[in-house]
Chain A
Amino acid sequence: MASETLATRERRGSLLGWFRADTFEGVRRQRAILGYLFLLPAFIGLVAFVVGPMFVSFGLSFYRWNIFKPPDPIGIANFQRLLTDSRLPGIYGNTMLLVVGTVVITQVLAIALALGVTQLRSRKFAYFLRTAWFLPVLMSGAAVGVTLSYLFQREFGPINYYLGVLGIDRIPWMTSASTVMYTIIITAVWKNLGFIFVIYLGGVVSLPQEILDAADVDGAHGWRRLWTVTLPLISPIMLFATVINVIGAMQIFDEPQIMTRGGPGDGSRTAVMYMYEVAFKEQEFGYGSAIAVTLFIAILIVTGIQFALSRRWVFYG
Chain B
Amino acid sequence: MKHQLSRRDMLKGTAAGAVGLVAGLAPAAVPAQDVITLRFQQNEARFTPVFENFNEIMPGTDVEFLNITGIDHEEVASKILNMLAAGQPLDAGYAATEATVLYAGQGVAASLTERVLDAQDELADYYADMAPICPETMLWEGNIYQLPDSCNAPNMFFNMNLLEQAGLDTPPADWTKDDFHEYAVATTGLGGEETFGYAWVNRLWGSWGPWYFVNGSNFLTEDRSPGGEWFWETFYPDNDDVAHRGGGFRWPAPSANDPATVEALEYVTSLTNEGIAPGIEMGGGASLVGLFVSDKIAMTPMGGFGAGYLVNNGMEKGQFDAQLWPHWKSQRHQLGVGGNWIFTGSPNADRMWDFLKFSIQVDQLLSQAGRYRPLMTTTPVRRSMAIAEAYEPTGPANWSVFYETLDRPDTAPIPAPPEANAVTNIHTRFTGLALSGELTPQEAMDQAQAELETLFARTRA
Chain A contacts to B: CB under 8 angstroms:
30, 34, 37, 66-68, 149-150, 153-156, 172, 174-177, 258, 260-267, 277, 280-283
Among B244-252, B277-285, B371-379, B407-415, which stretch is in contact with chain A?
B277-285
Task: Quote the shortest CB–CB distance from A37 to chain B (angstroms).
Answer: 8
Q: Judge whether A261 and B283 touch: CB under 8 Å.
A: yes
Among B300-308, B385-393, B429-437, which stretch is in contact with chain A?
B429-437
Q: Judge whether A265 and B433 touch: CB under 8 Å.
A: yes
Within the assembled complex, what's the spacing in Å between the Cα atoms of A149 and B279?
13
Task: Quote the shortest CB–CB distance from A290 to chain B (angstroms).
Answer: 14
B340 at the interface (CB under 8 A from A): no
B401 at the interface (CB under 8 A from A): no
Chain A residues near B432 (CB-CB < 8 A): 175, 263-265, 267
Within the assembled complex, what's the spacing in Å between the Cα atoms of A20 and B278?
78
**When A68-B106, A177-B438, A265-B438 are in contact, do A154 and B279 touch as well, CB less than 8 Å?**
yes
Tell me how many residues of B have a C-beta within 8 Å of chain A. 39
Chain B residues near A34 (CB-CB < 8 A): 7, 11
B75 at the interface (CB under 8 A from A): yes
Chain B contacts to A: CB under 8 angstroms:
7, 11, 14, 71, 74-75, 78, 81-82, 85, 106-108, 194, 196, 202, 278-283, 287, 291, 296, 419, 421-422, 425, 428-430, 432-433, 435-439
Q: Judge whether B74 and A281 touch: CB under 8 Å.
A: yes
Q: Judge whether B194 and A155 touch: CB under 8 Å.
A: yes
Q: Please give me the residue from chain A that is nearest to B444 by CB atom.
A: A265
Chain A residues near B280 (CB-CB < 8 A): 175
Within the assembled complex, what's the spacing in Å between the Cα atoms of A67 and B428?
25
Further 15 A-B residue pairs, CB within 8 A, beyond A34-B7, A282-B419: A68-B85, A156-B194, A156-B278, A175-B281, A175-B432, A175-B435, A177-B436, A262-B429, A263-B432, A264-B438, A281-B74, A281-B422, A281-B425, A282-B425, A283-B106
Chain A residues near B419 (CB-CB < 8 A): 282
Q: Judge whether B7 and A30 touch: CB under 8 Å.
A: yes
Q: Judge whether A267 and B425 touch: CB under 8 Å.
A: no
Chain A residues near B291 (CB-CB < 8 A): 156
Chain B residues near A277 (CB-CB < 8 A): 425
Chain B residues near A66 (CB-CB < 8 A): 106
Q: Please give me the residue from chain A that is nearest to B78 by CB atom.
A: A281
Within the assembled complex, what's the spacing in Å between the Cα atoms of A175 and B272?
11
Within the assembled complex, what's the spacing in Å between the Cα atoms of A265 and B428?
8
Q: Judge whether A281 and B106 touch: CB under 8 Å.
A: no
Report the 5 A-B pairs with minimum CB-CB distance, sorted nearest first. Answer: A264-B432, A265-B433, A175-B279, A67-B85, A264-B436
**When A153-B287, A175-B280, A261-B283 are in contact, do A280 and B11 touch as well, CB less than 8 Å?**
no
Q: Judge whether A280 and B430 touch: CB under 8 Å.
A: no
Chain A residues near B278 (CB-CB < 8 A): 154-156
11 CB contacts below 8 A, A to B, read A68-B107, A149-B281, A172-B436, A175-B281, A177-B438, A263-B429, A265-B432, A266-B429, A281-B425, A282-B425, A283-B106
Chain B residues near A264 (CB-CB < 8 A): 429, 432-433, 435-436, 438
Q: Judge whether A263 and B425 touch: CB under 8 Å.
A: no
**When A30-B7, A156-B291, A265-B430 are in contact, do A281 and B435 touch as well, CB less than 8 Å?**
no
Q: Please give me the residue from chain A that is nearest to B195 by CB atom.
A: A155
Q: Please give me the residue from chain A that is nearest to B419 by CB atom.
A: A282
Q: Judge whether A150 and B429 touch: CB under 8 Å.
A: no
**When A155-B278, A177-B438, A263-B202 are in contact, do A283 and B81 touch as well, CB less than 8 Å?**
yes
Within the assembled complex, what's the spacing in Å between the Cα atoms of A283 and B432?
23
Chain B residues near A260 (CB-CB < 8 A): 282
Task: Quote the shortest CB–CB distance from A54 to chain B (angstroms).
Answer: 18
Q: Judge whether B421 and A281 touch: CB under 8 Å.
A: yes
Within the assembled complex, what's the spacing in Å between the Cα atoms of A37 and B13?
14
Q: Judge whether B438 and A261 touch: CB under 8 Å.
A: no
Within the assembled complex, what's the spacing in Å between the Cα atoms of A37 and B17?
14
Q: Judge whether B82 and A263 touch: CB under 8 Å.
A: no
Chain B residues near A68 (CB-CB < 8 A): 81, 85, 106-108
Q: Please give me the residue from chain B that is nearest to A154 by CB atom.
A: B279
Within the assembled complex, what's the spacing in Å between the Cα atoms of A149 and B430?
21
Chain A residues near B81 (CB-CB < 8 A): 67-68, 283
Chain B residues near A149 (CB-CB < 8 A): 281
Chain B residues near A177 (CB-CB < 8 A): 433, 436, 438
Within the assembled complex, what's the spacing in Å between the Cα atoms of A177 and B280?
13
Within the assembled complex, what's the spacing in Å between the Cα atoms of A263 and B207?
15
Task: Quote the shortest CB–CB distance from B184 to chain A (angstroms).
Answer: 15
Task: Quote the shortest CB–CB distance from A163 to chain B (angstroms).
Answer: 14
Which residue among B71, B430, B432 has the maximum number of chain A CB atoms within 10 Å of its CB?
A: B432
Chain B residues near A280 (CB-CB < 8 A): 78, 82
Within the assembled complex, what's the spacing in Å between the Cα atoms of A153 and B279?
8
User: Which of B14, B78, B106, B282 is A261 in contact with, Cβ under 8 Å?
Assistant: B282
Q: Judge whether A155 and B428 touch: CB under 8 Å.
A: no
Within the assembled complex, what's the spacing in Å between the Cα atoms of A156 and B293?
14
Q: Please give me the residue from chain B that is nearest to A175 by CB atom.
A: B279
Within the assembled complex, what's the spacing in Å between the Cα atoms of A265 and B427?
10
Within the assembled complex, what's the spacing in Å between the Cα atoms of A261 and B421?
14
Which residue among A30, A150, A175, A280 has the maximum number of chain B CB atoms within 10 Å of its CB?
A: A175
